[in-house]
Amino acid sequence: MDVYFSADVETDGPIPGPFSMLSFALVYAGRFDGRHFERPARYERAFYAELAPISDQFEAEALAVNGLDRDQLVREGTSPERAMTDAARFVREVAGTGSPVVVAFPLSFDWTWLYWYFVRYSLTGSPFGHSRCLDIKTAYAVKAGIPISGAGRSRMPRALLPDRAHTHNALDDAAEQAEIFANVMEWDVRRHEVASAP
């Protein structure tokens, strides 16, 4: 049984190590036994943390996007060790006997940061192993029968779009992506028109 967690991260730069993850969220996004997908009734089972930066380096453009106060996080942010260990515990408790899988849209950026931080800072390592992850954009492209290059949110059918806004708050955006993920998992492509990619 796969147990899905929608992830979103907000950072102060493009890569972990030289730059820092300032906040992240994991939202329970459903479970799948190979035949039946079960979405949550609400997207309330969640973990959120704002972290102390791990370096002095940052990009002003990244901070402008996420609106986080980096100076305040230097003083008051949760240590990465505590945040990642607590997040791993949350994932394992919610997953129970199932296998935790992280999902995001797109996955590559969020996975890079989360995996690096879990491996480096969590006392129990990554609850997702080194490969239990699923890109929502790829799942949509495969179901729709379109190239990845044409699988952006702006081209998705209305039936797949969330009711929530994209705010660049990690908790809001993880919940938004969880809704998109559930919509894609339950989507019957034969009943909806798909915009063809250029």
Q: Give the count of beta carbons closer than 10 Å to the beta carbon of residue 73.
A: 18
The phi and psi torsions of 22 (rounded to 5 degrees) equal -95, -30
Q: Which of 36, 130, 166, 168 is catalytic?
A: 168
Q: Look up residue 87 and give its two tokens.
A: 């997040």
Give me Rg for the CA atoms of the chain.
17
- Share of the chain residues as helix, strand and coil, in percent rounded to the nearest 5: 40, 20, 35
CA gap 147, 197 in Å, rounded: 7
Q: Which residue has the tokens 């955006």?
A: 173
Q: Does 157 sit behind a cis peptide bond, omega within 30 degrees of 0 on the bond before it?
A: no
Task: Based on the residue annotation, tell me whether 168 is a catalytic residue of this protein.
Answer: yes
What are the distances in angstroms from CA 128 to CA 31, 61, 72, 124, 157?
15, 30, 30, 11, 30
Active site residues: 168
